[in-house]
Amino acid sequence: MSEALATQIFAHPEALPLRSVESILAAKVLVVAPHPDDECLGCGGAIALLNSCSELRIVVVSNGTMSHPNSRQFPASALQALRESETRAAMSRLGVEPAAIRFLGLPDGAVPTEGAAFDAALAQCCDYLAETEPQLIFLPWRADPHPDHQASWRLMDTALKQLRTAPRRLEYPIWDWDEAQRGNIESQIVAWRLDIHQVVQQKRDAIQLYRSQVSDLINDDPDGFFLSSEMIGHFSQPWEIYFEEIA
Ligand SMILES: [Zn+2]
């Protein structure tokens, strides 16, 4: 996908073809989130639509503790617990049971890309894929500018290559919506939109349950992360953007 194509996609997403959930139905579905909230922002509509007819699971790769690294009220262990509870609440709003969510707990901001830490994380991913056997998998977009998103893609891509039957892959953008950060990749990618109008209000409500990211719940860290209303707006549309590699 060229830079010009990426610019066109995010400037005029309404020009992308719109598909219904029937085009992606699968019995077993896995959603991979680099951080607690990416699954909701990127795929919340797909999750709500597919959950009623699929065995759907969610795996959250990192522990999310770097969103507010200096908070005294929420040190790392408390922040991790808070963010996990937000994921459970948000996913519950979309109909997903807590038991269907797995937290890998890898370090936020340092999802491994090499060495022993990568091998250990890869083993976790391989075990989880063997256990869940997804036919459809949602991955973070491989060229997302956030290093944890790229690293999560790489971990899962490496793990998926070890499966006998490859699931269909859909990749979802998060930080590419921010023009200043947008990444680029030379792959043959097709982009389209999933129609989620039936469940968009549910998705908007679920996003608001990530209170540590969308409100001043944690107010003692000047470096704390805040999901801007502009970013939330990109994920509050009655459609979601997906990228799929052309075989
Ligand atoms: Zn993220």
What residues contact 244, with CB distance under 8 A and at least 6 apart? 168, 169, 170, 171, 189, 190, 191, 192
pLDDT band for position 186 (50/70/90)?
low
Distance 59 CA to ligand 1 centre (A): 13
* Distance from Cα 21 to the centre of ligand 1, integer Å: 24
Give the distance from CA 45 to its chain's centroid: 12
Second CATH level (architecture) for the domain 3-245: 3-Layer(aba) Sandwich (3.40)
For residue 152, the model assigns a pLDDT of 98
Can you give the C-alpha Rg of the chain in angstroms?
17
Share of the chain above pLDDT 70, in %: 98
For 159-175, what is each residue's pLDDT tens digit?
Answer: 999 998 899 999 999 99
User: What is the C-alpha to C-alpha distance for residues 149 and 111, in angstroms, rounded to an integer?
Assistant: 9
Per-residue pLDDT band at 185 (split at 50, 70, 90): low
Residue 145 CA, ligand 1 centroid: distance in Å: 10
First to last CA, the chain: 14
Query: 33: CA distance to ligand 1 center in Å?
Result: 7
Gap from CA of 66 to ligand 1 centroid (Å) = 11
Percent of the chain with pLDDT over 90: 76
Cα(165)–Cα(129) distance, integer angstroms = 11
Task: Give the whole-angstrom CA distance, residue 171 versus residue 150.
Answer: 11
φ, ψ of residue 92 in degrees (nearest 5): -60, -35
User: How far is 189 from 235, CA to CA, in rounded Å?
Assistant: 21
State the distance from the centre of ligand 1 to the C-alpha of 38, rounded, in angstroms.
Answer: 5
* Distance (Å) of CA 106 to CA 31, 33, 121, 126, 131: 16, 12, 8, 15, 19
- The confidence band for 188, taking pLDDT boundaries of 50, 70 and 90, is confident
pLDDT confidence tier of residue 247, bands split at 50, 70 and 90: confident
- Residue 222's pLDDT is what? 82
Q: Per-residue pLDDT tens for 222-232?
A: 887 888 899 99
At 195, the pLDDT band (50, 70, 90 cuts) reads very high
What is the distance, to the nearest Å, from the Cα of residue 87 to the centroid of all Cα atoms in its chain? 12
- Distance from the CA of 42 to the center of ligand 1, in angstroms? 10
Ramachandran angles phi, psi of 203, nearest 5°: -65, -45
Residue 15 scores a pLDDT above 90: yes
What is the pTM (predicted TM-score) of this model? Answer: 0.95
186 Cα to the center of ligand 1, angstroms: 22
Q: Is 174 helix (H, G, I), strand (E, B) or coil?
A: coil
The pocket of ion ligand 1, defined by CB under 5 A, consists of 34-35, 38
CA 211 – ligand 1 centroid, Å: 15
DSSP 137-156: EEEE-TT-SSHHHHHHHHHH
Residue-wise pLDDT for 50-60, tens only, equals 999 999 999 99
229 CA from centroid of ligand 1 (Å): 16
Model confidence at 35, pLDDT cuts 50, 70, 90, reads: very high
Mean pLDDT computed over 119-145: 96
What value does the mean pLDDT of the chain take? 93
Which tops the pLDDT comparison, 135 or 182?
Answer: 135
In this structure, what are the phi and psi dihedrals at residue 193, rounded to the nearest 5 degrees?
-115, 145
How far, in Å, is the centroid of ligand 1 from the Cα of 14?
24
